[in-house]
Amino acid sequence: MKIQKSLFLLLFFAVSCTKNDIPTCVDDVALFSLADFPIGVAVSPFELESNSAYRQIVVEQFNRITPGNVFKPDALQPLENDFSFEIADSLVAFANANGKQIHGHTLLWHNQLPSWMNNFSGNRDEWISMMETHIKTVVAHFGNQVKSWDVVNEAFEDNGDFRANIWYQNIGEEYLKLAFELAHEANPDAILFYNDFNIAAKPKKCEAILNHFKKLKNEGVPVHGIGLQLHIFNATPSENKIENAVKAIVNEGFQVHFSEIDISMNLSGGNMQLTDNKLQKQGERMKLLTDIFQNIPENQQFGMTIWGVSDLDSWIPSFFGREDYPLLYDENYEPKPMYCGFLEGLTER
């Protein structure tokens, strides 16, 4: 691995050095071949099927896949006790055929729930039983084809309070502990994550999450890792804040997943001017994230996952209603300086 990396480094800088810190670069080397940990990407099976440029990048550059939407509760259990695995299974088949791991996302959340689940009425025991059916059926269905899961997504508010989602309202804070135990019962080999946004940007949120999961871990609950989504901007949160959050998580012995990386440039919303300077900054930011990740002790590095393939596929513009360019590839599926920053960060090790 090291020899391969130094050879590549030589070639890379021989052909592509520019006056800037981040060289222009070509994507004829696989990102995952440069890393000692998995390099993931969120994908849509529909794009994989219909878009050959998209598929080629996924196949060539990444060795782990997170389903962007098709493992969410509304996709997998659209009607009560009526599970729908066909599309998810097609993604698993793609992953198996191409030697990619799958990271399951997500068993519980407050968004993308089927309406019957949102409107479920029952006492606490009935809620627990409904949650148990969902978690156990899904985890057992995939078995060891899906070796890791986001068990609970976004359960805390930025101020550290529990989010008052349907699970919290009907079961109470114990739903978190129960969810991890149920997932573990259904697949004792799976690596189980708590996943959230703003963990680095909001220290109170980070503290609340760590206090809660540290307590559960000490009680023997199978919580193995924390996913920092990292939907971030070119300039915020600061390097310091990201490092502090990562250190705190590492110190508690959890695995770390940079689980949903994208880097926005448009802080003010609406339209924006895409400049070389902004693209350059985005590349430096990606390199910084890669450096921070590689400073994590190796046995706690779960992986780095990018939330989509090209700027064309990003959820940011439609979800937040702003122009933006947050991903590694441009709208023509050409690598951007952000790709080069990632590659440079991985290569320098």
Q: What is the identity of the amino acid at 236?
A: T
For the CB of residue 196, give the shortest distance to ligand XIL in the complex, in Å: 8
Q: Which of 154, 173, 174, 344 is catalytic?
A: 154
CB of 331 vs ligand XIL, minimal distance in Å: 17
Nearer Cβ to ligand XIL (155/338): 155
The identity of residue 82, as a single letter, is: D
> By beta-carbon distance, which residue lies closest to ligand XIL?
315
Smallest distance, ligand XIL to C-beta of residue 114, A: 15
Task: Pick between residue 153 and residue 234 the one whose CB is nearest to ligand XIL.
Answer: 153
CB nearer to ligand XIL: pick between 120 and 315: 315
- The helix or strand, by DSSP H or E, that contains position 204, with its residue range, turns out to be helix 203-218
Among residues 93, 210, 117, the alpha carbon closest in space to that of 156 is found at 210
Cβ at position 184, least distance to ligand XIL in Å: 21
349: Cβ contacts below 8 Å, ≥ 6 apart:
5, 36, 294
Residue 311 interacting with ligand XIL (CB under 6 A): no
Total interface residues for ligand XIL by CB under 6 A: 6
* 141-180 footprint of ligand XIL as x/- string (CB under 6 A): ------------x---------------------------
Measure the CA–CA gap between 231 and 15, rounded to whole angstroms.
Answer: 32
Annotated catalytic, 260?
A: yes
| DSSP state letter for 71 | T
Centre a 10 Å sphere on the Cβ of residue 138 and count the other Cβ atoms it contains: 22
Distances (CA, A) of 155 to 104, 152, 177: 17, 7, 12
Select which of 47, 181, 260, 344 is catalytic. Answer: 260
38/308 with CB nearer ligand XIL: 308
Specify the amino acid at residue 55: R
**Catalytic annotation present for 298:** no
Which of 77, 148, 170, 229: binder of ligand XIL (CB under 6 A)?
229
46 binds ligand XIL (CB under 6 A): no
Q: How far apart are CA 148 and CA 293, in angstroms?
A: 19
Sequential DSSP letters for 90-136:
HHHHHHHHTT-EEEEEEEE-SSS--HHHHT----HHHHHHHHHHHHH
> Taking the complex as a whole, how short is the minimal distance between the CB of residue 153 and ligand XIL, in angstroms?
5
Under rule CB under 6 A, residue 260 binds ligand XIL: yes
Contacts of 338 (CB under 8 A, 6+ apart): 263, 279, 282, 283, 285, 286, 327, 328
Name the minimum Å distance from CB 280 to ligand XIL: 26
Contact track, ligand XIL, 68-87, x by CB under 6 A: xx------------------
Report helix, strand or coil for 251: helix
> Mind telling me the catalytic residues?
154, 260
Applying CB under 6 A, which residues contact ligand XIL? 68-69, 153, 229, 260, 315
